C-alpha cells in the first residue's frame, strides 16, 4: 500500500495514476468559519471527509485541529483522524 501525505487536496487523480492508494490532505480547515465555508467549497472540490474513486483509491481531507490567520472556528468542526488500515 502506497500512502501519500500531500498538504492540499489537489492532484488526487494524478497521484492515484502514479500508484498511490491513499492521499492524506488537509489545508481547507473545513472552511474554518461562516461564510468562508461557501468560498472553501468553491475553491476546493474536496473540503473534508473520505472519498473513493472508481479505481478504489482514497483521499482523506481532514479539517484539522487548528486555525489559520483568525484564531477561531465557527460552523465547522476540529478533528483528529485515526485511520485503521486493513490489508485485503
Collect the ranges in the chain with pLDDT lower than 50: none
- Cα atoms in the 13 Å half-sphere on the side-chain side of 54: 0
End-to-end CA distance of the chain: 10
The per-residue pLDDT for 52 is: 96
User: 51 with 7: CB under 8 angstroms?
Assistant: no
Output the nine-digit C-alpha cell for 47: 473540503
489537489: which residue's cell?
10
The per-residue pLDDT for 57 is: 95
User: 42 with 4: CB under 8 angstroms?
Assistant: no
Q: What is the pTM of this model?
A: 0.78
Output the nine-digit C-alpha cell for 8: 492540499
Amino acid at each position: 500500500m502506497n500512502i501519500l501525505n500531500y498538504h492540499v487536496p489537489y492532484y488526487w487523480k494524478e497521484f492515484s495514476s502514479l500508484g498511490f492508494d491513499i492521499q492524506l490532505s488537509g489545508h481547507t480547515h473545513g472552511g474554518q468559519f461562516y461564510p468562508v465555508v461557501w468560498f472553501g467549497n468553491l475553491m476546493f472540490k474536496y473540503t473534508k471527509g473520505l472519498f473513493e474513486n472508481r479505481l478504489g483509491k482514497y483521499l482523506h481531507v481532514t479539517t484539522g485541529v487548528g486555525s489559520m490567520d483568525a484564531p477561531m472556528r465557527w460552523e465547522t468542526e476540529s478533528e483528529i483522524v485515526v485511520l485503521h488500515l486493513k490489508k485485503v
